[in-house]
Amino acid sequence: MEKAAPYIEQALALGAADAVPIAVSDIRFDSRTLLKCLYSCPYGPRHTCPTAPGSPTMAQYREMLSRYSWGVLVHGHEKKKTLDIAFELERRAFVDGYQLAWSLSGCVSCAAGCTLKEGKPCRFVKRARPQLYSVGIDVFATVHGLGLPLHTLTDPETEQQNWYGLTLME
């Protein structure tokens, strides 16, 4: 996918461990990801969660995402850095003429915690994005299908973590 080359180059220059082109048809959806999101999430609730008021359903997300044709999957070892890179690719793609470019990368903007817990609006609504799994993407199956690393950590304090962000374009 030649059109992804400049975005891959940019992601790597910004510090991504890997950045690979992805066809939307290579994204693996599984509605069971919602179970993990609802009952195993150490982060929520957040404005980007599937249970937040006004959030699209997983079926709506799947339909919307199916309208894209390709994107760039960003892999890194630091959560915020990886998410920032995916967001920067979205910004660049928009400037390059991909007006509907959009990233799924999670939200780490509120160091003090999400304002949803206080019943207040999002402070960073222009930057807030959902996690891949919260829209129904099976991250393990998707990244393994592309030959990228991801495994369950037995000791998060000593093992290197793998974080992923996805920027979609048409």
Following DSSP, what letter does each residue of 96-130 receive, concatenated? TT-TT-EEE------TT--GGGGT---TTTTT---
Residue-level pLDDT at 127: 81
- Whether 100 has a pLDDT exceeding 90, the answer reads yes
Number of structural domains in the chain: 1
Segments forming the whole domain that contains residue 99: 2-151+159-169
Residue-level pLDDT at 111: 67
- Whether 7 has a pLDDT exceeding 90, the answer reads yes
pTM greater than the 0.85 cutoff: yes
> Per-residue pLDDT tens for 118-163?
888 888 888 888 889 889 999 999 999 999 999 988 998 899 999 9
What is the C-alpha separation between 52 and 157, in angstroms, rounded?
Answer: 30
> Per-residue pLDDT tens for 23-75?
999 999 998 988 888 888 777 678 778 878 888 988 999 999 999 999 999 99
- Better pLDDT: 99 or 110: 99
- Whether 85 has a pLDDT exceeding 70, the answer reads yes
Structure-block tokens of residue 110: 């509120």
- Whether 99 has a pLDDT exceeding 80, the answer reads yes
Residue-level pLDDT at 148: 96
Please report how the helices 79-95 and 5-13 are oriented relative to each other, as an axis angle in degrees rounded to 10: 140
